[in-house]
């Protein structure tokens, strides 16, 4: 959510930003919030004047009564009563105007960073850099669920009977691999100075609307029926919520946290063959990284965060590349975002395995996350990035470490967790 003062003083910038995100239907909102803000400030001024005058008149009543001027005192009492009624009406109107203003402000997208490429959708995202040499083996690489089935490592049919499409059972060495990757990612981030956390896996609606846009909320979140609780789609939601309504001393920043959680997502819409199996699912586990910092430090942290993911994947012998998300592909709260994509030898192309985002002060402004500075309080900046989400990571891992005989090499970094150097298929 933008600062209303910024919108008031820079309407053309806000409108151009909306155009850059190809959301022209939101252009009228700028003028609407400016009018609501004007009305809100006028109400506040009238309320302040009425309260001051009411206090002045109230003091007169005692003096008039002491002088025996009861009729005049009654006239003043009537004025006080009329002003009290007017104040009550204004307070109700002010509450309604502020609520309407807030709702509209929450729909206006955040101002994107000047470095973000302008484009309508993800087809116009820009490749930044490649890390590692993509390899296409001479043998045919099977679909990832076929690889897993050779190890008796996945059961989609039973999961479909138990929970429906979008769920899975992982078993044996594949389940161990899944857990080992998460454990390795946890320790990898701890070694880089991040504090390990396990957050609540459900959050209240005020936290949901504080960390994401309404469109994202509708597309992603599962609501707990009869309760003000939602299942988290990523631990970022819960971890940023940890700081709601806090004032944080400058000297304690930045907060650098890495969190584990299961994640639950609706994943609406039909998907192609490449997004079946364990690629796009309703339930998965993930290791995340979160930073709460001073505004002047967020750009530097953004660079550090996506590099952590690149380094982790390279330590597991997986080639990756970074993609700059264009303006039209950015969620409304994001200032800048880079996706990390892993190489798929089977598809002979890269696919997304993580996303790094700088949200500026958007989440902090919605949730009241402030920093206490020498010259007063100000809003923090928040960032998040995927360390690893094993379902997609497993696809990249298995394809890039697969041998012609069907066995899978275990990279040196993961051997202490798996306690073996190779997985041998049972089929």
**CA separation (Å) from 24 to 2, 20, 109?**
18, 9, 11
Q: Which residues of the chain have pLDDT under 50?
A: 270
CATH of the domain at 176: 3.30.930.10
SS3 letters across the chain: CCCHHHHHHCHHHHHHHHHHCCCHHHHHHHHHHHHHHHHHHHHHHHHHHHHHHHHHHHHHHHHHHHCCCHHHHHHHHHHHHHHHHHHHHHHHHHHHHHHHHHHHHCCCCCCCCCCCCCCCCHHHCEEEEEECCCCCCCCCCCCHHHHHHHCCCEEHHHHHHHCCCCCCEECHHHHHHHHHHHHHHHHHHHHCCCEEECCCCEECHHHHHHHCCHHHHHHHCEECCCCCCEECCCHHHHHHHCCCCEEEEHHHCCEEEEEEEEEECCCCCCCCHHHCCCCCCCEEEEEEEEEEECHHHHHHHHHHHHHHHHHHHHHCCCCEEEEECCHHHCCCCCCEEEEEEEEECCCCEEEEEEEEEECCCHHHHHHCEEEEECCEEEECEEEEEEEECHHHHHHHHHHHCECCCCCEECCHHHHHHHCCCEECCCC
CATH of the domain at 19: 1.10.287.40
Closest CA to 177 of 142, 152, 197, 196: 152
Q: pLDDT exceeding 70 applies to what percent of the chain?
A: 97
In a domain, 256, yes or no: yes
Q: What is the pLDDT of residue 270?
A: 45
At 226-259, the pLDDT tens digits run: 999 999 999 999 999 999 999 999 999 999 999 9
pTM for this structure? 0.90
In a domain, 111, yes or no: no
Structural domain boundaries, residue 291: 122-423
147 with 225, same domain: the answer is yes
93 with 163, same domain: the answer is no
Largest CA distance in the chain: 108
139 with 85, same domain: the answer is no
212 with 290, same domain: the answer is yes
At 150-181, the pLDDT tens digits run: 999 999 999 999 998 889 999 999 999 999 99
Q: What is the pLDDT of residue 214?
A: 77
Domains identified in the chain, total number: 2
Q: What is the pLDDT of residue 413?
A: 97
Q: What is the pLDDT of residue 62?
A: 66
Which of 79, 105, 131 corresponds to the end of one domain?
105
| C-alpha span between 157 and 3 (Å, rounded) | 51
Which of 53, 75, 105 corresponds to the end of one domain?
105
Instruction: Determine contact, residues 338/117, Cβ cutoff 8 Å.
Output: no
């Amino acid at each position: 959510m933008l600062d209303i003062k910024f919108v008031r003083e820079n309407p053309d910038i806000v409108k151009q930003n909306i155009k850059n995100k190809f959301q022209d239907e939101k252009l009228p909102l700028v003028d609407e919030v400016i009018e609501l803000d004007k009305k809100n400030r006028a109400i506040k001024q009238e309320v302040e004047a009425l309260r001051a005058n009411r206090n002045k008149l109230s003091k007169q009543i005692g003096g008039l009564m002491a002088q025996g001027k009861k009729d005049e005192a009654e006239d003043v009492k009537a004025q006080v009563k009329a002003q009290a009624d007017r104040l009550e009406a204004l307070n109700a109107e002010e509450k309604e105007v502020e609520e309407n203003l807030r709702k509209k402000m929450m729909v206006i997208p955040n101002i994107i960073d000047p470095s973000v490429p302008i484009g309508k959708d993800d087809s116009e995202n820009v490749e930044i850099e490649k890390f590692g040499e993509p390899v296409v083996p001479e043998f045919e690489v099977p679909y990832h669920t076929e690889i897993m089935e050779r190890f008796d490592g996945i059961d989609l049919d039973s999961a479909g009977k138990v929970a429906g499409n979008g769920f899975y059972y992982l078993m044996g060495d594949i389940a161990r691999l899944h857990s080992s990757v998460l454990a390795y990612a946890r320790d990898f981030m701890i070694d880089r100075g991040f504090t390990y956390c396990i957050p609540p896996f459900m959050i209240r609606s005020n936290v949901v609307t504080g960390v994401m846009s309404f469109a994202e909320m509708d597309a992603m979140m599962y609501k707990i029926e009869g309760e003000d609780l939602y299942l988290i789609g990523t631990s970022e939601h819960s971890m940023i919520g940890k700081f709601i309504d806090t004032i944080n001393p400058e000297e304690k920043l930045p907060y650098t946290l890495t969190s584990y959680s299961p994640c639950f997502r609706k994943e609406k819409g039909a998907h192609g063959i490449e997004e079946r199996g364990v690629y796009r699912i309703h339930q998965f586990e993930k290791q995340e990284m979160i930073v709460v910092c001073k505004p002047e430090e967020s750009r530097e942290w953004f660079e550090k965060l996506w590099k952590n993911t690149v380094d982790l994947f390279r330590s597991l012998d997986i080639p990756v590349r970074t993609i700059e998300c264009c303006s039209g592909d950015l969620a409304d709260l994001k200032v800048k975002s880079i996706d990390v994509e892993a190489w798929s030898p089977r598809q002979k192309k890269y696919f997304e395995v993580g996303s790094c985002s700088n949200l500026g002060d958007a989440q902090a402004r919605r949730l009241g996350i402030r920093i206490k500075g020498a010259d007063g309080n100000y809003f923090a900046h928040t960032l998040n990035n995927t360390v690893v989400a094993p379902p997609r990571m497993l696809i990249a891992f298995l394809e890039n470490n697969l041998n012609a005989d069907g066995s899978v090499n275990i990279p040196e970094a993961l051997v202490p967790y798996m306690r073996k150097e190779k997985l041998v298929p049972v089929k």
